[in-house]
Amino acid sequence: MVAQNLTAPQRAIVAEYWWRRAASEITSWVGWQHVLEDLRAEGSPGTVLKLAERAVHDEYQHAVWCRDWAERFGHQGGEVRPRGDERFAFPDATDSDNRICRIALCCFTETVGCFTLQQVRPLVRDPALRKLNRRHLADEMQHSRTGWAHLSTLDVHGRESLRRYLPRLLALLPRVCCGRAGEEHEDLVPFGYFTARVLTSAHDEAVRSVILPGLEHLKLAEAS
């Protein structure tokens, strides 16, 4: 068992971290339900809605995976609860503007998630964890495509709205994706622990190589 390679204090740290990841995933499950409602309200194509419906299902399954791994590392288990169920919104934005912002932010976070999983894969040696990494990455890629697909369909109003709020969304992104300072257990990365360094590196690479080029390709980066 992979946990046998760890000391008792290390197992406790990893178990608690997987439990926090389970809470993050169940929170994403709630968030994707909001995004699915937003996509429907914005008249997104049926193919995009099907991808979003799959994402809702996937995020719940991700929470189950993380809960099970927390227990495998020694967590006592229990009910995984979301950190909140409020919809993200800018107070000064209209309902339509906030729907577009939620869709875009979800698109960006899922894109960063792809890079996080890619970056840690070479360090993961346990076969079961490597298999989980591959399955999770495949899901994250589909989730990010959901957001990009919708952004490609934005009308004039939607494009102007996204351009207006894009600087604030990009400024918010590292706070959402990069974790807290000081979480630097580099020796535990092979066991599913994402350090602040890993998360920050993945964020920076995702923004540089996919998010900004993607926005430019869709002509969404320039000022209105």
CA dihedral sign, ordered 81, 88, 28, 48: positive
The better pLDDT of the pair 49, 84 is held by 49
Supply the pLDDT for residue 222: 61
| Rounded distance between C-alpha atoms, residue 35 and residue 147, angstroms | 9
Tell me the Ramachandran region of residue 196: left when phi exceeds 0, alpha when psi lies from -120 to 50, beta otherwise: alpha
**Chain segment 20-35, per-residue pLDDT in tens:** 999 999 999 999 999 9
Pick the CATH number of 2-85+93-217 from 1.10.1760, 1.25.40, 1.10.3470, 1.20.1260: 1.20.1260
Q: Is the pTM of this model over 0.85?
A: yes
Residue 216 tokens read as 């430019």
**Chain segment 92-116, per-residue pLDDT in tens:** 999 999 999 999 999 999 999 999 9
CB-CB contact of 113 with 140 (8 Å) = yes
Supply the pLDDT for residue 179: 73
Supply the pLDDT for residue 2: 66
**Chain segment 69-91, per-residue pLDDT in tens:** 999 999 998 999 999 889 999 99
